[in-house]
Structure 1
């Protein structure tokens, strides 16, 4: 499966970073996806103009997913198009496979990346800055950024080389459950942030107690699948027990 050379693959990988730049209300990220795939499609269908036009039209349809997954999907689509060009995969099956992959990865990305990991990075940065560790906070941001780029390179390569098979490996990463664990860590980081900007007093124990009880309740409500509204109502009632006026007088930012 050596249809694409290093130059074409590198061009597709770099363009996958720009998928969101042509966001529109009709196809969302479809123009950006077509732009990212174009160097690879031209190489794959260099001797089949009709196949190239068919591929372009198929990828200009509605497309929207989490931006961190774009390199993976670009790699997988290039893999599938390479197989289609050699009659190893039916082109009629591509829309269904594409739709399933896009929506599944979008849900995982929103839960793990946007809803958990990025929040963890933001909270860690806030705690470090407020604690006076400015340069370590900058270093943490650089580490996260470099790690993200390496992750994108890895999933692009695996997506192109393994195609849909890599998605089965991706399931074993169990990102949804890891996202749940990170949300618990984020709750503790919020508590750390308050403790950093709020000089410790004995009444702070009330606040810590409510946070701990809230974490226990959140875990319990999730296990028994009770309504979130009930959880919020109980947390609100517990918050009324805090001496807010006294604590406000001691608040230091």
Structure 2
């Protein structure tokens, strides 16, 4: 790892933060924010790898993959990753930390923007509007824009400062940090899979007891006793296999899952 002759300045990191305003403009169901994320860091990549077009191409292709983070927190990630590239860190180490930051920062950003700042300003300016203050709607809009701008720039600066200081002091331990980030990422994804992938088998049968009563036996309850959320895990593994090994697109996966869901529901084998 070579950390001398750094090519990026604070201005480059702030530039990436400002470009993240267009993070959602190329949103699609294949890579989500992938194209917008690459757009945000592209000038930085071009500056770092100005003398090595193959490296530039490799880093660009690596960062056009699926990504989905709160837009206001994105500059923190872009700054951290650009700092790692500028210090010569391995592409997989940078990717691991980038992916590990996606979930936690999304939760923090959503909480701040949607459940903190927006309700606060809504309450203030709604009251002013009800009192007949004509500037209230524009005041709300301006306050939201300014506060989100401050957060975005602050995240970019914090990512730059934190990224460069951590890499300078922990350069020999980046691989271990990357491995830990991988573990965190897998844990978060596993939790999301079992929470948001909803699938159950409604098949059940009735058995006649010796005393003449009936006992209903549900197949889903039996599966849950063997391993809770087993069907959700199986579906997640199948989808992962199709993406990773068969290179299926999101649209193709959606068509498959919709077909299976509809047919399963009609036939009574999925609920």
Q: Scaled by the length of structure 2, what TM-score is found?
A: 0.54
Q: More deviation in 121-130 or 41-50? A: 121-130
Deviation at 1:73, TM superposition (A): 1.7
- Tell me the residue number matched to 1:181: none
- The reply on whether 1:34 has 2:34 as its aligned counterpart is no
Deviation at 1:47, TM superposition (A): 1.2
Q: More deviation in 3-12 or 141-150? A: 3-12
**8 A contact 1:17–1:70 mirrored in 2:** no
- The reply on whether 1:124 has 2:128 as its aligned counterpart is no
- The reply on whether 1:59 has 2:63 as its aligned counterpart is yes
List runs of 5+ in structure 1 lacking aligned partners: 167-253
Deviation at 1:120, TM superposition (A): 2.1
Deviation at 1:65, TM superposition (A): 0.7
Q: More deviation in 27-36 or 94-103? A: 94-103
Write the mapping of 1:9-24 to structure 2, written as runs, cut at 5 A. 9=13, 11-24=15-28
Deviation at 1:17, TM superposition (A): 0.8
Given the superposition, is the C-alpha separation of residues 71 and 25 from structure 1 closer, same or farther in structure 2, using an over 3 Å criterion?
same
- Tell me the residue number matched to 1:229: none
The total of aligned residue pairs comes to 162
* In 1: Cα distance, 2:93 partner to 2:6 partner: 23
Deviation at 1:45, TM superposition (A): 0.6
Q: Scaled by the length of structure 1, what TM-score is found?
A: 0.57
Deviation at 1:10, TM superposition (A): 5.0
Given the superposition, is the C-alpha separation of residues 110 and 146 from structure 1 closer, same or farther in structure 2, using an over 3 Å criterion?
closer
Root-mean-square deviation (CA), in Å?
Answer: 2.3
Q: More deviation in 118-127 or 135-144? A: 135-144
Given the superposition, is the C-alpha separation of residues 7 and 68 from structure 1 closer, same or farther in structure 2, using an over 3 Å criterion?
closer
Helix, strand or coil at the partner of 1:3: coil
List runs of 5+ in structure 2 lacking aligned partners: 167-271
**8 A contact 2:17–2:156 mirrored in 1:** yes
Helix, strand or coil at the partner of 1:22: coil
